[in-house]
Amino acid sequence: MSKKAIVLLSDPKAGSEESLGRLFNALGTAWEYKNAGQEVKIVFQGTGTRWPEVLDNENHPAHKIYKELADVIEGASAACAQVWGANPRGVDLITNNPVPNTIGTSSFLKLEEEGYTILTF
């Protein structure tokens, strides 16, 4: 059985179809793996750390699937959230990659060492 880490990098502030498409593809992929009994994690990285606040809105078209995936959300990169002014409320902040002069970001190396294949959106 394979393990997947879904890393969402797209920026909701872009307001583009591409950004929204990446979000839906990321969440849809995570949902598919979860429902197939596969191990999956979602990580918000870069400007993607802005998504949790957006998805918390009940009127967002991806709100329902986001809530259904709450148990597989690993969290959001702390340093990225800080740099991009994100408020990833409701998710843990990840600091396991102590990049110098930051509060720490999420570690892709750690995910790989744990056996995850990383998929970026």
Domains of the chain in start order, with CATH, are 3-120 (3.40.1260.10)
Please state the rounded mean pLDDT for residues 51-64: 96
- What is d(CA 119, CA 59) in angstroms, rounded to the nearest whole number? 27
> Residue 15's pLDDT is what?
81
- What is d(CA 119, CA 106) in angstroms, rounded to the nearest whole number? 14
User: Could you give the angle at the alpha carbon of 108 between the alpha carbons of 92 and 63, nearest 5°?
Assistant: 45
Averaged pLDDT score across all residues of the chain: 96
The DSSP letter of residue 104 is -
Q: Where does the pLDDT of residue 16 fall: very low under 50, low under 70, confident under 90, or very high at 90 and above?
A: confident
Please state the rounded mean pLDDT for residues 55-59: 96
pLDDT higher than 90, residue 1:
no
- Per cent of the chain over pLDDT 70 is 100
